[in-house]
A = this chain, B = another copy of it.
Amino acid sequence: MILAGGSGTRFWPLSRELSPKQFISIFGGVSLITQAVRRVSELAEADGVHVLTNERLRDELQNHLKSQAALVGCTIDYLAEPTPRNTAPAIALAAAYLERLDPEAIMVVLPSDHLLEDGERWERTLRVAVGLAERGRLVTLGLTPTYPETGYGYIHMGAPLTGAAEGDTLGHDVAAFVEKPDRETAEAYLAEGGYLWNSGMLVARAAVVLAELEAAGARAETPDSAGAAEMASVAREVAALGPKTWTQDAARTRFGALPAVPFDKAVLEVSDAVAVVPADMDWSDVGSLAALEQVAAPDERGNVLSGNVVDIDSHDTIVYSADRLVATIGLADLMVVDTTDATLVAPKDRAQDVRLIVDALKATGAREIVESRSSLRPWGSWTLLTKGPGFQVKTIEVSPGQRLSLQSHEHRSEHWVVVEGRGRITRGSEVFDIGPNESAYIPRGFTHRLENPGTSVLRIVEIAVGDYLGEDDIRRFEDDWQR
């Protein structure tokens, strides 16, 4: 169960509302969510990978992961929660949903937007956690700290649990969850040992998650756990309606009334069943743009320069350019983040304040907050080149063997010029192929489809002309992607 409802505005301009942090592919070459899915796809049973997101992001996530199908390597069950209520209601709903599929289900809850070392150590950690989960534990994964980070919560380990151990990987009771410490405290934790970074990764039987929610609610030891039993019952009720109805009014009203509380607060901090498996692995929550420091090796002046960048005399500065040329002179402790349509310049230690920019831009309705100039589709991608009064120009890439939906537009005509590969075009009752340097005209109102029948990429330039050019002027008659 991959949680992918995050908005990721702290990563603007690299992330956008419709393409949040989990879509970013600058860490590790493929997107963080693709990495998350790959991390579990071989370990999960068939049809066992679920992504829980929200209604607004569901289509974008499907487009994104379908375009990376070859990397993802499994089918995915897409779920949209009724409304965002933090992780306790979300995990409750996920547990109730999985319990209905399989009363014995063990769920692994993973964030979609973290960086984590893959491979043997990850798999061993997960097997130990699953072993403890089979014994009825709520198991969190804790990362061995490598420096006194003040931005993470910590888990203080208790007594060892030898039950499911593999070699020196073994679970522990939890002595305490502790909030983000100050620098001095973080240093003490590191020196003392026995403290782990709280990663937010959870492994447990779905039934145990629900039972522990009920128990926490019954005991009501803290304000945050008082509503936990209600979460379990509402989650079961909503799950019973079936996920297709979750974004309808009935589910939304019930679910929306639950307290918006993190699962840590609602259950883990008050549960007797909680355990932690320490993992000595590379991990980052990629919490702000300052994480760009991990994109490339620093130069001798401590700069991390990535992309089309030329620098004179800067030090301890991050310059990230997705595509355009960025030139910097004599900067210190700054970050410059450049994308096709927007650039951010700020001191590294104000990376968290990007949300202030996002808030300011939201207030003006700036398009650059919502989406970037490119969009992945299940069949390929498009990039907006320019938009003017009554027209817009895009490049469109269609992957080999893929096709767009059979569609029509009420307000725009389209001119297509193939610049690479071959395209098969359906226009009204005609079907014909065109190759490089050939064009086709799709008049307003005509049913049409673009297909790549070849084995290499099809690239066209599309000029749309009309009085309204929004993406929502589309009527779909037939779609390989059930949109």
CB nearest neighbor in B for A364: B310
Contact A327 B310 (CB under 8 A): no
Contact B310 A330 (CB under 8 A): no
Contact B388 A385 (CB under 8 A): no
Say yes or no: is A324 at the interface (Cβ < 8 Å to chain B). Answer: yes
A459 CB to closest chain B CB (Å) equals 7
Contact A343 B338 (CB under 8 A): yes
Say yes or no: is A481 at the interface (Cβ < 8 Å to chain B). Answer: no
A419 touches which of B336, B385, B388, B420 (Cβ 8 Å): B388
Contact A390 B420 (CB under 8 A): yes
Question: Could you tell me the distance between the alpha carbons of A393 and B383 in the complex, rounded to whole angstroms?
Answer: 13
Contact A342 B361 (CB under 8 A): no
Contact A324 B345 (CB under 8 A): no
Say yes or no: is A189 at the interface (Cβ < 8 Å to chain B). Answer: no
Which residues in window 308-342 of A have CB below 8 A to B? 310, 312-313, 324-331, 334, 336, 338, 341-342
Residues of chain B within 8 A of A417, CB atoms compared: 415, 463, 465
Question: Could you tell me the distance between the alpha carbons of A441 and B438 in the complex, rounded to whole angstroms?
Answer: 9
Q: Is the interface of A mostly helix, strand, loop or mixed?
A: strand
Residues of chain B within 8 A of A461, CB atoms compared: 391, 393, 463
Contact B389 A415 (CB under 8 A): no
Contact A343 B346 (CB under 8 A): no
Say yes or no: is A350 at the interface (Cβ < 8 Å to chain B). Answer: yes
A336 touches which of B325, B345, B360, B395 (Cβ 8 Å): B345
Question: Could you tell me the distance between the alpha carbons of A343 and B325 in the complex, rounded to whole angstroms?
Answer: 6
Say yes or no: A312-B353 contact (C-beta < 8 A), given A330-B347, A391-B419, A459-B388.
yes
Say yes or no: A346-B324 contact (C-beta < 8 A), given A357-B312, A360-B310, A465-B437.
no
A327 touches which of B13, B313, B389, B395 (Cβ 8 Å): B13
A342 touches which of B324, B331, B368, B390 (Cβ 8 Å): B324
Could you mark each residue 55-78 of chain A with 1 if its beta carbon is under 8 Å from any beta carbon of chain B, else 0? 000000000000000000000000
Residues of chain B within 8 A of A459, CB atoms compared: 388
Which residues in window 364-417 of A have CB below 8 A to B? 364, 366, 368, 383, 385-386, 388-391, 393, 395, 413, 415, 417
CB nearest neighbor in B for A340: B324
Say yes or no: is A188 at the interface (Cβ < 8 Å to chain B). Answer: no
A86 CB to closest chain B CB (Å) equals 27
A385 CB to closest chain B CB (Å) equals 4
Say yes or no: is A90 at the interface (Cβ < 8 Å to chain B). Answer: no
Contact B390 A386 (CB under 8 A): no
Contact A310 B385 (CB under 8 A): no
Contact B327 A343 (CB under 8 A): yes
Which residues in window 276-328 of A have CB below 8 A to B? 310, 312-313, 324-328
User: Top 4 A-B pairs ranked by shortest CB distance?
Assistant: A329-B346, A391-B419, A325-B342, A385-B385
Q: List 10 A-B contacts (CB under 8 A).
A: A312-B353, A312-B356, A312-B357, A325-B342, A326-B345, A329-B346, A331-B334, A385-B385, A388-B395, A415-B415
- Given A312-B360, A329-B344, A390-B436, 14 extra CB contacts under 8 A: A310-B364, A325-B366, A325-B368, A327-B361, A329-B347, A329-B356, A331-B334, A334-B345, A386-B395, A388-B419, A390-B420, A391-B419, A393-B395, A417-B463
